[in-house]
Amino acid sequence: MTRRLCLVTGASSGIGSAFARIYASHGYDIALTARRTDRLERLADEIRFRYGVETLVIAADLADPDGPGEVLSEVSAHGRVVDVLVNNAGYAVPGAYGNTAWGDQRAFLQVLVIAVCELTHRVTPGMVERKFGRIVNVASLAGLAPGPAGHTLYGAAKAFLVRFSQSLHLETRDKGVHVSALCPGLTYSEFHDVTKTREQVTRGTPAWLWMGADEVAAAGYEAVEANRAICVPGAPNKVLAVLAKLFPDDWGLALLARESGRIHHT
């Protein structure tokens, strides 16, 4: 194939599907992976019809330790390599840490940390060899802000993705491989429906704090093309990120993160 391939995890909705459409609009073939095959198939049909590119649907659960390898084996079985990797799959585990089941937390870490690292580790050498690659790790403003109570590992995992992306960016920036951590705040998607926190989050939260998934993905695309290590989309989110850096332990900022940010987004 003459076209490059973009692999998007968590592609069945929200930021993931928005990234798939953006890369397809720039002429990339698209590999879509998530658990919901029916949604992936509908998105794949839409992308093929609208943009005239090839699509590959891979149903996989990245909470399974074998999931990342299975996804990349399927890509290889079709004679393809990954030129762009969008690590978007994610969710949160609501509740106080001690009140949750460890199995749920372990699966969360597998999806948001281990699978991201494994997929990235497996595709990076080929990108470096071909002197072209793009890696977008969808982190969160929560990874830059003080950690609120509840969703205990969410901010920690997203902070890990930010630091991981920064380090890998430095290792590959002169080798044709761009790495960027995308750190959105509140984003319209199914995230809060899955965690059953939509009413709690939207109540009293001003509309100007929210962004659309298409806006977020567009900002992420521009950032990785420009080889920027971190992208915080939206002016309000940029202000919050600066405040978090200036006052990392300030209780007022922590309150802001909890009450008006509630930045468990994707």
CB 153 within 8 A of CB 109: yes
Higher pLDDT, 188 or 218: 218
d(C-alpha 124, C-alpha 154), whole Å: 25
Query: What SS3 class is residue 211?
Result: strand
Q: State both tokens at 3.
A: 């076209």
pLDDT for position 208: 58
pLDDT for position 246: 72
To the question of pTM greater than 0.85 for the whole model, the response is: yes
pLDDT for position 116: 98
Which residues are designated catalytic?
154
- Between the alpha carbon of residue 209 and those of residues 9, 24, 234, 245, 261, the distances in Å are 26, 28, 9, 19, 8
Taking only the tens place, the pLDDT of each residue in 68-101 is 999 999 999 999 999 999 999 999 999 999 999 9
pLDDT for position 250: 59
pLDDT for position 188: 65
- Please give the sequence-ordered ranges of beta strands (E in DSSP) within the chain, or none if there are none: 5-9, 29-34, 55-59, 84-87, 133-138, 177-182, 187-188, 211-212, 230-231
pLDDT for position 247: 66
Taking only the tens place, the pLDDT of each residue in 101-142 is 999 999 999 999 999 999 999 999 999 999 999 999 999 988
Higher pLDDT, 258 or 166: 166
Residue 145 clears pLDDT 70, i.e. is over it: yes
β-pairing, 211-212 with 187-188?
parallel
**Residue-by-residue DSSP string for 146-180:** PPPSSSHHHHHHHHHHHHHHHHHHHHHTTTTEEEE
pLDDT for position 196: 47
